[in-house]
């Protein structure tokens, strides 16, 4: 009798395990990119030259076989469409690789919005990038080319599991060498570092041929840190003007930032060849906390799994650093900071300083892919001509990632390209006419990518998936962000 009960119990556990596995498994990929195709009679936009050219591009085995004049005799599928370089997100993140397996979906969201390369500004537990790179390279799922800073180089109590803790300039320099051996594409200088530690990181990274991006730590100024690529405009408000040590305050307490300081920052940036990745969209999206219930139904936000909308970005139980932001703070601080940041972006651009577009996806209401298009719009609103915004978001970003080949329209090249039914160069609203995406010479039809997104959304709305994600999501959030409280 006991063995019968054991068999029944085992059968139940196996069956439940199978149902559980199916509920969290990504949808089966039923489409494949094309390696052989012709873009006949298309208009190719070159952001470098700000020039449009009528061309026909024939691809064979994911490479350009021939570049020729258009064939005007026969109508082709892509005829009359506009071709641009692929867009690059210079401050991106992916979720950890865990039971919910969201990396294939996030990767798909980037690609479906025309983002063909991403720079991962820190892999919070070290599981996301290896899994994403392997999955994309093996064709298990679709996504952009990935550049990664890997671990956070930090001091004191680490905020993220994937951190290298340093306590001296010598240890900071050694951290760079460790990351170089691991295959990192860049170095993320993070929190609690002294100016001497940061300078040791930069000096060693230059020798190792690695770019350095980073946060200006609390207590230091932009000028003291001298980070080569400053993220989020941290360090511009003077330390005494910050109400407290919090990423929210460091990004929003700009009330005492005046034109004199902005002009000094511009001059310092130009003289010291400092780049900035302001992630304006991450600041702008904070304003959605003013009406959280409506924010959950915003078009791009609705693309995210329910537990992001209901847990991760919840103003009461969500990411600790963003809990309980009052409407007065949003109006008096966040809104003011956005206005002044746009002014700084404009000043930096016209002074010839280097700028990058990044989204900081997974911050509140910042959705992979869609938010980079929003960032382009914010750069335009700052006063940068739209064709220059395209240049910053494409060829300039790829050049910074040492990926110049991404927009080579030459025989033998495997470029990253976007194909639009309508010309988006003078009107970003026409990015919604995206028809196809080419990444590393592989052609993905937008309708197919959208179909896959819909399948993911159906899977994520499955009651069992929602139960698991909502039940475990809070536990995972608390574990991942237990030190990210300020």
Strand order through the sheet with 417-420: 63-68, 51-60, 37-46, 82-85, 417-420, 434-439, 442-445
- How many angstroms separate the CA atoms of 362 and 18, rounded? 30
Q: Answer whether residue 19 is part of any domain.
A: no
Q: In the beta sheet, which residues pair with residue 154? A: 165
Q: Answer whether residue 388 is part of any domain.
A: yes
- What pLDDT does residue 21 have? 45
Q: Answer whether residue 311 is part of any domain.
A: yes
- What pLDDT does residue 18 have? 40
Those residues with Cβ within 8 angstroms of residue 263's Cβ, 6 or more apart along the chain or in another chain: 347
Instruction: Report which DSSP code applies to 28.
Output: P
Q: In the beta sheet, which residues pair with residue 282? A: none
CA dist 448 → 100, 178, 305, 438 (Å): 23, 41, 20, 13
Number of domains comprising the chain: 1
- How many angstroms separate the CA atoms of 201 and 290, rounded? 39
Domain boundaries, position 343? 86-149+216-413+451-455
| pLDDT tens-place string over residues 319-357 | 999 999 999 999 999 999 999 999 999 999 999 999 999
Tell me if the pTM is above 0.75: yes
Q: Which of 100, 113, 107 is nearest to 136 (CA)?
A: 107
Extract the residue ranges of the chain whose pLDDT is less than 50. 4, 6, 8-22
Tokens standing for residue 189: 């200088």
**44 close to 425: Cβ distance less than 8 angstroms:** no
**CATH number of the domain that residue 98 is part of:** 3.20.20.140
Phi, psi of 90 (to 5 degrees): -90, 5
Over the range 13-34, which residues count as b (16 or more CB within 10 Å of their CB) and which as e? Answer: eeeeeeeeeebbebbeeeeebe
Strand order through the sheet with 145-148: 87-92, 115-120, 145-148
**152 close to 177: Cβ distance less than 8 angstroms:** no
Q: Answer whether residue 180 is part of any domain.
A: no
Q: Answer whether residue 315 is part of any domain.
A: yes
- What pLDDT does residue 31 have? 84
- How many angstroms separate the CA atoms of 390 and 46, rounded? 10
**362 close to 122: Cβ distance less than 8 angstroms:** no
Phi, psi of 167 (to 5 degrees): -130, 5
Length reported for the chain: 486
Strand order through the sheet with 275-277: 163-165, 152-154, 187-189, 212-214, 229-231, 275-277
Q: Answer whether residue 5 is part of any domain.
A: no
Instruction: Report which DSSP code applies to 441.
Output: T
Q: What percent of the chain has pLDDT over 70?
A: 94
Q: Which helix (H) or strand (E) holds 303?
A: none
């Amino acid at each position: 009798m006991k063995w019968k009960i054991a068999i029944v119990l085992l059968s139940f556990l196996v069956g439940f395990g199978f149902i559980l596995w199916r509920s969290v498994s990504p949808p089966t990929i039923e489409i494949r990119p094309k390696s052989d195709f012709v873009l006949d009679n298309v208009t190719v936009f070159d952001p470098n030259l700000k020039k449009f050219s009528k061309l026909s591009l024939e691809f064979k085995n994911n490479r350009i076989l021939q570049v020729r004049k258009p064939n005007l005799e026969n109508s082709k599928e892509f005829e009359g469409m506009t071709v641009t370089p692929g867009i690059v997100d210079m401050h991106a993140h992916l979720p950890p690789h865990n039971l919910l397996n969201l990396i294939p979906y996030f990767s798909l969201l980037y690609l479906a919005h025309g983002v063909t390369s991403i720079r991962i500004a820190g892999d919070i537990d070290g599981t996301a990038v290896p899994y994403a790179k392997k999955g994309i390279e093996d064709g298990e799922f679709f996504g952009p080319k990935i550049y990664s800073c890997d671990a956070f180089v930090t001091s004191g109590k680490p905020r993220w599991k994937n951190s290298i803790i340093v306590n001296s300039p010598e240890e900071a320099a050694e951290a760079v060498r460790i990351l170089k051996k691991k295959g990192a594409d860049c170095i993320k200088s993070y929190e609690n570092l002294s100016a001497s530690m940061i300078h040791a990181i930069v000096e060693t990274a230059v020798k190792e041929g690695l770019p350095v991006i980073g946060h200006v730590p609390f207590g230091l100024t932009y000028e003291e840190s001298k980070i080569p690529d400053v993220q989020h405009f941290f360090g511009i408000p003077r330390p005494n003007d910050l109400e407290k040590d919090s990423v929210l305050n460091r990004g929003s307490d700009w009330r005492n930032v005046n034109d004199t300081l902005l002009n000094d920052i511009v001059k310092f940036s130009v003289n010291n060849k400092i780049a900035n990745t302001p992630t304006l969209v991450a600041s702008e999206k904070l304003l959605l906390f003013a009406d959280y219930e409506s924010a959950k139904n915003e078009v791009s936000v609705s693309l995210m799994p329910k537990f992001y909308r209901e847990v991760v970005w919840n103003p009461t139980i969500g990411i600790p650093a963003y809990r309980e932001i009052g409407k007065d703070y949003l109006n008096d601080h966040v809104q003011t900071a956005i206005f002044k940041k746009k002014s700084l972006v404009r000043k930096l651009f016209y002074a010839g300083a280097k700028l990058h577009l990044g989204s900081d996806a997974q911050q509140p209401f910042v959705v992979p892919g869609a938010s980079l298009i929003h960032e382009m719009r914010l750069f335009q609103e700052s006063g940068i001509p739209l064709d220059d915004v395209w240049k910053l978001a494409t060829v300039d970003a790829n050049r910074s990632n040492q990926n110049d080949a991404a927009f080579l329209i030459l025989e033998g090249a495997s470029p990253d390209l976007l194909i639009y039914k309508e010309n988006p160069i003078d009107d970003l609203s026409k990015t919604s006419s995206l028809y196809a995406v080419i990444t590393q010479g592989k052609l993905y039809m937008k309708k197919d990518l959208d179909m896959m997104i819909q399948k993911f959304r159906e899977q994520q709305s499955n009651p069992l998936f929602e139960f698991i994600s909502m039940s475990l999501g809070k536990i995972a959030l608390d574990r991942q962000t237990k030190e990210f409280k300020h």
